Amino acid sequence: MNRFARALAPADRPRLVAYVTAGDPDPARSRDVLRGLVRGGADVIELGVPFSDPVADGPVIQRASERALAAGTTLGGVLDMVADLRRESDVPVVIFTYLNPVLRLGFDTFVARSAEVGVDGVLLLDIPIEESGEARTALESRGLDPIYLVSPTTTDARLRVAAEHGRGFLYAISRLGVTGMRDALAESARPLVARIRRFTDLPVALGFGISRPEHVREVATFADAAVVGSAIVKVIDEAAREGRDVGKAVEEFVRWLKTGA
């Protein structure tokens, strides 16, 4: 059983996939953030690679990418962070990245290094699933799970392909648009997960707009995990600007998301 299977197995508590932008607010404190995620109880860490043109991300995560890039964060440095984390924790790690940083490092180098440091899965955001065969083969050859995004507008035909070729879990986007916090779950969330269940037994993690414990609890009634990103990134930004311990701030917020306390 791999780390995803253990982390997302059915349980009597909400499961949480926690997204942060690597290198935000700077590489040193980003390592503290990762430790805070683990202490707070994140079941899976989704580690975003900062990119200059993050077209799928809203303003909170866009600014995090800007801060991380200004602080000198590189894809190689992100993988070094995973290596450091692996010395302390076996929490599953997904690398969430646009293709350009991977091509700049070199795709083969990226795959080899990711496997070496203990990455579990890779979500290549801007490769259409129909064009992902070569990347998928390379990832799977080194034991890395290709993670695919599906949305309310994904056709049944494409859901079948994602279900056939995805590994680890499927990432369901609850609504269209960019990342960001919302007051309530999208009405399309539950029907989307129900559709996905028709095609796969893979765990389904639901993201976009989730920011509060009641959202996480609601998601847990019909999906396998909730994905929270912008809300956590906002906590990091506020703690850094106020001179507080970012790792502790993240730890407390993640624990609140999971328990409400």
Positions annotated as catalytic residues are 46, 57
CA 36/CA 162 separation, integer angstroms: 32
Cα angle value 51/150/189 (rounded, 5°) = 110
Helices 27-40 and 246-259: crossing angle in degrees, nearest 10, is 30
Tokens describing residue 88: 């302390």
Q: Which of 111, 68, 120, 112 is nearest to 89 (CA)?
A: 120
Whether the CA torsion 54, 110, 251, 1 is positive or negative: it is: positive
Place of tokens 């399309």: 188
Q: How far is CA 248 from CA 20, 32, 36, 152, 154, in A?
A: 15, 8, 6, 36, 38
- Amino acid (one-letter) located at 259: T
The two structure tokens encoding residue 63: 């600014």
Beta carbons within 8 Å of 59's beta carbon, 6+ residues apart: 180
Q: Are 236 and 64 in contact (CB under 8 A)?
A: yes
| H-only helix segments in the chain | 3-7, 27-40, 59-70, 75-86, 99-105, 107-117, 133-141, 156-165, 189-197, 213-220, 230-241, 246-259
